Structure 1
């Protein structure tokens, strides 16, 4: 899409953009020169972390309650 949609990280507010992995998975990544962002813990890909957030949100929307 040109120009790119104005998407920003919910944590650090840095711009993000859509990417596709070598295996064909689509995800969003921080644009270059992003600050240190706590949304991406060490050893965990951003795509994996964002998927976990989406699943947690869907579970809450479906009525699940956690500790």
Structure 2
């Protein structure tokens, strides 16, 4: 027999531990390291965007195909 109150508390503790782990990963990094990671991400995005074969259309569509009815 399972005590549902204890099961709920156990599940809540597990969810809280997961949230705490995410927060430690996000906030446990020094500002220069965060800035370096942000700059690297932006550089990678620019590099990827610069490798596009053709620029995106003005209306935001990726191709010149007509819109689906």
Q: Fold match, TM over 0.5? A: no
Higher Rg = 2
- Tell me which of the two structures has the higher relative contact order, counting C-alpha pairs closer than 8 angstroms and 6 or more residues apart: 1
Q: Normalising to structure 2: TM-score of the pair? A: 0.29
